[in-house]
């Protein structure tokens, strides 16, 4: 499966989905003008990955900030990961938040309650 590597900009996060090297990460700021267009390759990639996932997938979210529109797409990504988990594959979500960012901590907790997958929330 091909690597999905999207470089970060001031308004979009870095996305690196590299199953060969066990790297699954979205990090940075997410304020794209068209959030659906930006995240559609991620959703499509996960849909394809679902057919032959790694034995264990640790998916890292390390947002500094994201807008309300992004939160819907994060939920869509988590649903794809939940589908992979429900098919009997091991999934672990790691939600990083800056130590003093209570909002990002709260969002991580909300997302963790909305899906039935192992979810760890870690400050940095």
Q: What is the pLDDT along the chain (124 residues), one digit of tens a residue?
A: 999 999 999 999 999 999 999 999 999 999 999 999 999 999 999 999 999 999 999 999 999 999 999 999 999 999 999 999 999 999 999 999 999 999 999 999 999 999 999 999 999 9
d(CA 117, CA 93): 8
Backbone dihedral angles phi then psi of residue 105, each to the nearest 5 degrees:
-65, -50
User: Quick check: pTM over 0.85?
Assistant: yes
Helix (H, G, I), strand (E, B) or coil at 33: coil
């Amino acid at each position: 499966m091909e690597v999905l590597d999207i470089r970060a900009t001031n308004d979009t996060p870095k996305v690196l989905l590299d199953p060969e090297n066990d790297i699954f990460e979205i990090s940075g700021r997410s304020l794209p003008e068209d959030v659906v267009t930006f995240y559609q390759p991620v959703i499509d990639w996960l849909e394809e990955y679902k057919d032959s996932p790694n034995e264990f997938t640790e998916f890292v979210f390390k947002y500094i900030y994201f807008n309300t529109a992004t939160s819907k797409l994060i939920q869509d990504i988590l649903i794809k990961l939940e589908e992979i988990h429900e098919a009997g594959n091991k999934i672990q979500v790691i939600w990083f938040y800056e130590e003093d960012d209570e909002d990002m901590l709260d969002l991580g907790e909300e997302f963790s309650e909305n899906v039935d997958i192992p979810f760890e929330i870690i400050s940095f």
